[in-house]
Chains A and B, each alone.
Chain A
């Protein structure tokens, strides 16, 4: 059973566009929601993370929107660049801070 559901599986946008990747979860014990970026042949790298006490967090061109009642969170990439082309994973972890549950990933391509 997939604890965190991620969509879409792949996404193609033009440079300057705003790709949006969505994730949904069921377990209300989750209280830490990170997004990771992975380039081919590399391990994932933390991009941005949010806790449920806020509805939005921005870091540079990356924004997480969090809807606690809907149990959904999304990643927005402003002014996307070809260098943003990568696979993005959402994840969630319960307040015990142990096991992490990852989404299935979204392959993003930004066309110059």
Chain B
């Protein structure tokens, strides 16, 4: 079956612009995670959705970052007023039970 998909695969934007990144999880997966991966570094947790529970937003680095998820389907990560330090690969993962995670290919964001 289809895996986790993310769009766009690459995004180049100017400093100060807003961007929206999309994640389509595997059907039936109740858990969804967003991570940020800077070049050559590990995965930085951003936010976690589990079913209809309130999301765990503890990893969001600033109030410029927000995310939404519609039920157990698509999620969007929005970064407002982008800064150069936001440049990274943004990874989405879904999980059927909150343990094994299946990652998408990521969106590479470049802020000029």
Are A49 and B100 CB-contacts (below 8 A) given A89-B42, A105-B41, A105-B42?
yes
Partner of B45 from the list A32, A42, A100 (CB cut-off 8 Å) is: A100
> In the complex, how many residue pairs between chain A and chain B have their CB atoms under 8 Å apart?
58
Tell me the smallest distance from the CB of A101 to a CB of chain B, in Å.
Answer: 7
- Collect the chain B residues with CB atoms within 8 Å of residue A32's CB: 99
Contact with B along A70-112 (1 / 0, CB 8 A): 0000000000000000000101010001111111110000000
Complex Cα–Cα for A98 and B97 (A): 10
A32 to B101, CA, bound (A): 12
B103–A99 CB distance below 8 A: no
Interface string of B45-57 (1 = CB under 8 A from A): 1001010000010
**Does B111 belong to the interface (CB within 8 Å)?**
no
Confirm or deny: A46 has a beta carbon within 8 angstroms of a beta carbon on chain B.
yes
CB distance from A87 to the nearest CB of B (A): 9
Question: Can you list 13 A-B contacts with CB-CB less than 8 angstroms, sorted by A residue number?
Answer: A32-B99, A34-B101, A36-B103, A49-B100, A89-B43, A98-B48, A98-B98, A100-B45, A101-B45, A102-B35, A102-B42, A102-B43, A104-B42
B residues adjacent to A (C-beta < 8 A): 4, 31, 33, 35, 41-45, 48, 50, 56, 58-59, 91, 93, 97-106
For the complex with contacts A44-B103, A97-B97, A102-B43, 10 further pairs of A-B residues with Cβ separation under 8 Å are A34-B99, A36-B103, A41-B105, A42-B105, A44-B91, A46-B100, A89-B42, A99-B45, A99-B59, A102-B42
